[in-house]
A and B are shown apart, each in its own frame.
Chain A
Amino acid sequence: MAAQPTIDTQRLDAVLGAFEPGDGSALIEALHDVQSEFKYLPEEALDRLADRLGVSKSRVYGVASFYEGFHLEPRGEHICTVCMGTACHVRGAPRLLEHLEREIGIASGQTSEDLTFTLEEVACVGACALGPLVIIDGKYHGNTTTSHLTKVVGKLKKD
């Protein structure tokens, strides 16, 4: 685990300021907001969030780690998300995932050392007609193939 970069406290204050002090029920919404600000949930932000909402740090950590949508580590510049829904599975998603693991050189769920890529799975985005589907930096690549992914990832590597 790499040391986490320091974060901009002003930005954090702005996010936390929107929540009532002591309102523990806002925890998950607050985690979403912190994450949209920093793209992940920095340790310091979690601890400050705990203080703001008046809940224990262990509860914040337990909750943040429970949900797949929250990231506790910094993420890559490019995010490749492979849909692993059933429709995509029967249309060959596992092979695409393995292919991306090889192309990018990281295992699913990981971020490359230089923070260029994050490779992850999503349970289903509900765009089953497009299966198998890979989302790269927010763009949906539907009915995709290993060759197509090689091309897209290759371009990102060069940038």
Chain B
Amino acid sequence: MPVQVKINGIKMSAEPQETVLQVARRSGVHIPTLCHLESVESTGACRVCLVEMKLGGKTQLTTSCNAGVEDGMEIMTDTPEVQKHRAANLEMMLGRAPGSQKIRALAREYGVYESAYVPSEDPAIPGCILCELCVRVCEALGHSALAAVSRGGKKYIGTPHDKPSESCVGCGACAEKCPTRCIEMTDTKKTRTIWGQTFDFVSCETCGAPVMTVRQRTHAVETKELPEDYYTTCVACKQKNLAGRFARVGS
């Protein structure tokens, strides 16, 4: 049974399993997010997707990425209250990630240019806002190489025992999805270094460019039961090859 909600005064019909963020985006309303990704569970960590929610006579702020819609909800996505507290949370995150362009730009939208906040613990990863998106992405890919370690202000992201993890395949998904791009990853033509270990690349048979790490291929081959030589060409060459084949068929 669909539920009826209002977003910024406009009536919307929504499925009960949808989140406020999904419905808002579907209706073209922009809400900023940092720690949210459709493909993984939302944890409501960064608090930047705050909206004002009126339900049953009560008005309160809530994060929209992890709030399910309920019948009769009225959502306002851009009130002064919302702006004020998005700004305050952004100031805190800017204090953690002063070098992140993304945070800086978003903070600027809310009138925050510099942060007075200096975290009292030295960060394990400079620039990390502790949103655990990397952890969730890694888990969703079936590796679970990363963990949120400790709690409160001492929390940090790391590998088990802070040592190179045997479950890490060096896919780099964490680094790519990280909102502040703070995970150190160094690629050479032949190797990738991340989370304290260096992985060899499988080189493209055609052009020699990196395809993926050897361990990543092994993992994929094992879990997807693919032939051992499945990933041998890079995406670009694969496309070229395909295009070539189509061209031949077409002629």
- Whether A60 is near chain B, meaning CB under 8 Å from some CB there, is yes
- Whether A61 is near chain B, meaning CB under 8 Å from some CB there, is yes
Count of interface residues, chain B, beta-carbon cutoff 8 Å = 15
Using Cβ atoms and an 8 Å threshold, which residues of chain A touch B167? Answer: 56-58
Q: Which residue of A lies closest to B143 (CB)?
A: A56
How many whole Å from A46's CB to the nearest CB in chain B? 8
- Whether B224 is near chain A, meaning CB under 8 Å from some CB there, is no
Residues 133-160 of B contacting A (Cβ, < 8 Å): 135, 139, 144-151, 159-160
Please tell me which one of the listed residues B144, B150, B165 contacts residue A65 in the complex, with CB atoms under 8 A apart. B150
How many whole Å from B164's CB to the nearest CB in chain A? 12
Residues 155-178 of B contacting A (Cβ, < 8 Å): 159-161, 165, 167
Query: Do A61 and B149 touch (CB < 8 A)?
Result: yes
Query: Do A57 and B151 touch (CB < 8 A)?
Result: no
Using Cβ atoms and an 8 Å threshold, which residues of chain B touch A65? Answer: 147, 149-151
Q: Is the interface of A mostly helix, strand, loop or mixed?
A: helix
Using Cβ atoms and an 8 Å threshold, which residues of chain A touch B151? Answer: 65-66
Query: Do A58 and B145 touch (CB < 8 A)?
Result: yes
Please tell me which one of the listed residues B135, B146, B150, B159 contacts residue A66 in the complex, with CB atoms under 8 A apart. B150
Using Cβ atoms and an 8 Å threshold, which residues of chain A touch B147? Answer: 58-59, 61-62, 65
- Whether A47 is near chain B, meaning CB under 8 Å from some CB there, is yes
- Whether A121 is near chain B, meaning CB under 8 Å from some CB there, is no
How many angstroms between the C-alpha atoms of A47 and B159 in the bound complex?
12
How many whole Å from A39's CB to the nearest CB in chain B? 18
Q: Mark A27-69, 1 if CB is under 8 A from B, else 0.
A: 0000000000000000100110000000011111110011000
Using Cβ atoms and an 8 Å threshold, which residues of chain B touch A56? Answer: 139, 144-145, 167
Query: Do A58 and B165 touch (CB < 8 A)?
Result: yes
How many angstroms between the C-alpha atoms of A57 and B163 in the bound complex?
11
Query: Do A59 and B150 touch (CB < 8 A)?
Result: no
Q: Mark B114-129, 1 if CB is under 8 A from A, else 0.
A: 0000000000000000
Interface residues of B (CB under 8 A from A): 135, 139, 144-151, 159-161, 165, 167
The 4 closest A-B pairs by CB, nearest first: A56-B144, A62-B147, A58-B147, A61-B160
Interface residues of A (CB under 8 A from B): 43, 46-47, 56-62, 65-66
Task: Knowing that A57-B144, A57-B167, A62-B147 touch, tell me 12 more A-B residue pairs with CB under 8 angstroms.
Answer: A43-B161, A46-B161, A56-B139, A57-B160, A58-B135, A58-B159, A58-B160, A59-B147, A62-B148, A65-B150, A66-B150, A66-B151
